[in-house]
Structure 1
Amino acid sequence: MIGGPADPEDDEEQGRTQQGRLRPTSAGAITGWVVVGLVGGWALHPLAERFRDTAPIVTWAQPLALLLVTAILGATAYVTWRTVHVHHQRLDPHQAVNRLVLARACALVGALVAGGYFGYALSWVGVESELGEQRLWRSVIAGLAGVAIVISALLLERACRVRSDGDES
């Protein structure tokens, strides 16, 4: 059968086992989304001025909303860590999958958002404008909040890890 499932007996004969392990979110994927965000954020400034005659303003609501997401992810990571690693209780399978999916999605989107705000901040470097400096610094703060989302999401992903019977570390 082409493309069908492999026979487990064949895997055992060849010394392989199907363990169904997931790898952590790679640094390459996070870096890739940061780069996409940087380019998009940097391009937003000139494109918005060309087509809308004004660039978007960064208010305090954006970084505060990102910090709220960070706090929620951090609290979820803490609760998950204590449940799995301190109290040695297993999560329900659907809870574990939901938390892992949330962690991975937030890590990648947080990287995109961080890159976008840093790119937007870079587009204001050296520009003399009435609100240019304000846009630059608020974008930097929002970018740092995006980095905090990535960190808290990776902590949640790590909290979802369980030691298998074969792991010694």
Structure 2
Amino acid sequence: MNDEQPEHHGAHRLRPLPASALSVLGVLGLVGGWVLRRAVERWGDHAPLLTWGQPLALLLAACALGGVAWWTWRRVHVQGEWLEPRLAVNRLVLARASALVGALVTGGYAGLGISWLGDESSLAGEQLTRAGLATLAGGLVLVAALLLERACRARSQQ
């Protein structure tokens, strides 16, 4: 390296996703989920109904992310190996995108569930249960994504 050019170790390090960004997306999802049902019913259509597919798909995504996070953690932090740069970037992008979507989806299903509170229809209890499970599964996606992001960090960054 040229003596005239200073080294910039760590000048371009990625920081973990800020909690503020995840919180903002969660609140936007919450408001959006609550408004969605109200707006659709106001325009004379039926409320969007949840099936068991939504919570199960989110649970499957959380399990997949958790498995990748565990594998990555073991390889980088337990075995002390380095990931190929392409693989590390792919996992980091997957982790960050999943965390952002997980926050939005968690808030959205929570808002949809809240919109069913106090409703006297026969579907209210069932929809509230499914929305609660989808909210929980969305939270698991968020947690698994954050664990994957943490697993991608090199030992010297901790």
So what's the TM-score if we normalise by structure 1?
Answer: 0.86
Letter in 1 for 2:60: L
User: Runs of 4+ in structure 1 displaced over 4 angstroms?
Assistant: none
Residues 148, 9 of structure 1: CA spacing in aligned structure 2 closer, same or farther, 3 A cutoff? Answer: farther
**Aligned-partner Cα distance in 2 for 1:36–1:81:** 31
Structure 2 unaligned blocks of 5 or more: none
User: SS state of the match for residue 144, structure 1?
Assistant: helix
Q: State the percentage of identical aligned residues.
A: 54
Counterpart in the other structure of 1:43: 35
- What is the 5 A alignment of 1:15-94? 17-19=8-10, 20-94=12-86
Q: Deviations over 1:59-79 (max 9, x none)?
A: 111000000000000000010
**Aligned-partner Cα distance in 2 for 1:43–1:107:** 23
Return the offset for 1:50: 2.3
Structural RMSD (CA) = 1.7
So what's the TM-score if we normalise by structure 2?
Answer: 0.92
Q: Deviations over 1:120-149 (max 9, x none)?
A: 011111111120111111101100110000
Structure 1 unaligned blocks of 5 or more: 1-7
**Aligned-partner Cα distance in 2 for 1:93–1:22:** 14
**Aligned-partner Cα distance in 1 for 2:96–2:44:** 35
Q: Aligned match of 1:162 in 128, 150, 154?
A: 154
